[in-house]
Structure 1
Amino acid sequence: MKLKNTLGIAIGSIVAVTSFGVLAQGQGAVEGELFYKKQYNDSVKHIEDGFNPGARIGYFLTDDLSLDLNYDKTNHTRSNDGTGNQKIKGDTGSLLATYHFGQAGVDSLRPYVSGGFGHQSRTNVLADGHSGRDQSTLAIIGTGVKYYFTDNLFARAGVEADYAMDNGKWDYSALVGLGVNFGGNAGKVAPAPAPVPEPTPEPEAPVAEVVRVELDVKFDFDKSVVKPNSYADIKNLADFMKQNPQTTTVVEGHTDSVGPDAYNQKLSERRANAVKQVLTSQYGVESSRVQSVGYGESRPVADNATEAGRAVNRRVEAQVEAQAQ
């Protein structure tokens, strides 16, 4: 198949492939290219400069670094020693690492540098007394730029220098190419995540109002008998506890400072028990919900130096809290 037909089919295939929209640059991408280069043959005598068609396939190890396998044919080079138009044939294979600069994307320019090794073989070089070589190992460096028409289709222009390790001489080439890449992920803008709707705040529970019922029963001097005028207050406490069955209470007994401490302690306990007895026996509050305790004369609320103050200290206190329904 003629070269012209081969290039036409290849370029048509490149354009067709890019229409699928599945190609991309970046890490994991595979890049294929057809190129044509002007070869300046300085390392071998009696050979004209030529034009070498070739192909390249590369794999991106990262978004910027690719490993490229290259192959080109020496099809249009001739002897120039005056013996006639003897055609020189040959080929070159190489493995290059290529580092790209800039960002991938539509209408982007990506300069690059490359380096690696290759092997070159030429036929007919030794014929008719020519003094050139037929094979050589090459060290190759290059630079250039790629222009991306789309995320997938690009053109390349670059230069390369080949150092022949056999004779220590350099050859040079200038090249242009057209290629595609596929399978990577660079140059694509990730779709913005769908906004997450803010959670609808749950309606705040109404703040429960705390209702408190207090009891303050007074006693005569040295007595622990509940006076009749205190029964109504005790009943209010009992009614409240019945309306709020989850409530409990502590009935606290107190005395004034007259008398020994030990005696007053016992007296305060009897007073607390007397109020508890009225709550449970007379008004029906469960005994398990009422605790009684005596504090003797240790917690005065008034001055024990006066009769009025001592009367205030001879008391039983209780309180109950509940949330309003």
Structure 2
Amino acid sequence: MKLKNTLGIAIGSIVAVTSFGVLAQGQGAVEGELFYKKQYNDSVNHVEDGFNPGASIGYFLTDDLSLNATYDKTNHTRSNDGTGNQKIKGDNFGLNAQYHFGSVGDALRPYVSGGVAHKSMTNVIADGHSGRDQSTFLTAGAGVKYYFTDNLFARAGVEADYKLDNGKWDYAPTIGLGVNFGGSGGKVAPAPAPVPAPAPEPAPEAPVAEVVRVELDVKFDFDKSVVKPNSYADIKNLADFMKQYPQTTTVVEGHTDSVGPDAYNQKLSERRANAVKQVLVNQYGVGANRVQSVGYGESRPVADNATEAGRAINRRVEASVEAQAK
């Protein structure tokens, strides 16, 4: 009855512990288990088979490999075959490694195990004798764990014990109930995110060059190609601009009104354009190779040739120069 009460309390404690958020399988986990096994005592004469309760505690070195310390107690067996049917008690301490197959989080995880154990049993020789039989065993086992949750599991397996002093084997089918807590859950800690390099300073924008422009509009009298004195200041202004920006060139364009034959007006427009060019070159020193003159006759009016005022506007020479300011 005491054993039933003890197991009931232990199982209740295991279930309660599974409510804590720190529980986890995998590397770093601690595994606790209560188990019960059928012990076949073939290596010792005159000892019946028994049932041994026990417990183990283990630590997962990796997600798959655990190192476990175990203890079980012999207190449900007797001597036989003329030895007085005495109660036999004993203690069994062990250390083993378990290797689990599958992956962390699988419901079923088969395992194999191997290790060493030391057993001590009383009253195993003869009637009335209270001596103690002590032996060291090599252990090997296999089984499977079933995880009800990520952390609560049941285990079923079998263990074989090889007695070093007489070369005999004992066997023990086992069932158990246990919990895991404190592990990584099979997750690898993420590598720290690299610190981003500071963004490079934007290169200063190149200043946008300002475009400067000079325009020339010289008016002429009817049927004349002589530059009037009041236009010289405008021509000089254009010449000074071209000297300031020696890479510039210009086209001087001559025009007429619509009075007169087309051929005559074409020649007149060319003479007007050339007259302005000569002022630029000869009087104000602009290189002749930088000035081109062309006549368009009456083909490009900018005002109404039906009126005198419009015709006066059309009798003209135009030029323009533009450059990027320094």
Q: TM-score interval w.r.t. the shorter chain?
A: 0.5 to 0.7
1:260-301 CA-to-partner distances (Å, cap 9, x unmatched) read xxxxxxxxxxx9xx99xxxxxxxxxxxxxxxxxxxxxxxxxx
Whole-angstrom CA distance in 2 between matches of 1:237 and 1:5: 113
How far did residue 88 of structure 1 move? 1.3
- Aligned residue for 1:70, secondary structure, equals strand
Q: Does the C-alpha gap of structure 1 residues 68 and 214 become closer, same or farther in structure 2, counting only changes over 3 Å?
A: same
**Residues 287-302 of structure 1 mapped to structure 2, 5 A cutoff:** none
- Using the size of structure 2 for normalisation, the TM-score is 0.61
Instruction: Provide, for residues 38-57 of structure 1, a one-character-per-residue CA deviation record: whole Å limited to 9, x for no partner.
Output: 11111111111111100000
Aligned to 2:237: 232
1:59 to partner: Cα distance: 0.7
Once the two structures are TM-superposed, the CA of residue 12 in structure 1 deviates from its matched residue by 0.8
1:104 paired residue number: 104
Between the two proteins, the alignment pairs up a number of residues equal to 231
Change (3 A) 1:253 1:184: closer
Instruction: Decide whether the 8 Å contact of 1:110 with 1:146 is kept in 2.
Output: yes
In 1, Cα distance between equivalents of 2:43 and 2:165: 10
* One-letter amino acid of the counterpart of residue 56, structure 2: R
* Aligned: 1:184 with 2:189: no
Secondary structure, in 3 states, of the residue corresponding to 2:83?
Answer: coil
Mapped to 2, the partners of 1:237 and 1:14 lie a distance apart of 99
CA distance in 2, matches of 1:28, 1:228: 97
Q: How does 1:4-23 map to 2 (within 5 A)?
A: 4-23=4-23
Which residue pairs with 2:192 in the alignment? none
The unaligned stretches of length 5 or more in structure 2 are: 190-206, 215-231, 250-280, 293-320
CA deviation profile, 1:43-94 (whole Å, cap 9, x unmatched): 1111111111000000111111111000001111211213332111111111
Cα distance between partner residues in 2 of 1:177 and 1:233: 107
Which whole-Å deviations, capped at 9, do the CAs of 1:124-157 have from their partners, x for residues lacking one?
1134388x97111111111111001011110000
The answer to whether the Cα contact below 8 Å between 2:83 and 2:126 also exists between their aligned partners in 1 is no
Deviation of 1:214 (Å): 7.1
Which AA in structure 2 matches 1:5? N
- Contact 2:25/2:186 (<8 A) preserved: yes
Q: 2: distance between equivalents of 1:34 and 1:44?
A: 26
Q: Take 1:234 and 1:165, find their aligned partners in 2: how far apart are those partners?
A: 119
% same residue: 69
Distance 1:233 1:17, change over 3 A: same
Per-residue deviation, 1:234:
5.5
Equivalent position amino acid for 2:289 in 1: V
Q: Which residue is 2:61 aligned to?
A: 61
Deviation string 1:214-239 (CA, Å, 9 cap, x unpaired) is 79xxxxxxxxxxx966533356689x
Q: CA RMSD in A?
A: 3.7
Partner of 1:311: 288
Structure-1-length-normalised TM-score: 0.61
For residue 120 of structure 1, what is the aligned residue in structure 2?
119
* Contact in 1 for aligned 2:242/2:248 (Cα 8 Å): no
Matches within 5 A, 1:145-184: 145-184=144-183
> What is the correspondence of 1:175-324 to structure 2 with a 5 Å cutoff?
175-186=174-185, 212-213=211-212, 230-233=235-238, 251=246, 311-312=288-289, 319-320=323-324
Q: Which has the higher mean CA deviation after the structures are superposed, 111-120 or 78-87?
A: 78-87
Q: Find the aligned partners of 2:240 and 2:322 in 1 and give their Cα distance.
A: 12
Instruction: Give the conservation status (yes or no) of the 8 Å contact 2:22–2:182.
Output: yes
Superposition deviation, residue 319 in structure 1: 3.6
Call closer, same or farther: CA 1:321–1:140 in 2, change over 3 Å. Answer: farther
Kindly tell me: are residues 214 and 178 of structure 1, through their superposed partners in 2, closer, same or farther at Cα, counting changes over 3 Å?
Answer: same
Aligned-partner Cα distance in 2 for 1:188–1:177: 27
Matched residue type, 1:60: F
Residue 78 of structure 2: aligned partner: 78
After superposition, give the CA deviation of every residue in 1:200-254 in whole Å (9 maximum; x if it has no partner).
xxxxxxxx98653479xxxxxxxxxxx966533356689xxxxxxxxxx864699
Change (3 A) 1:233 1:55: same
1:187 CA displacement:
5.4
Kindly indicate whether the alpha-carbon contact (under 8 Å) linking 2:27 and 2:186 is maintained by their aligned counterparts in 1.
no
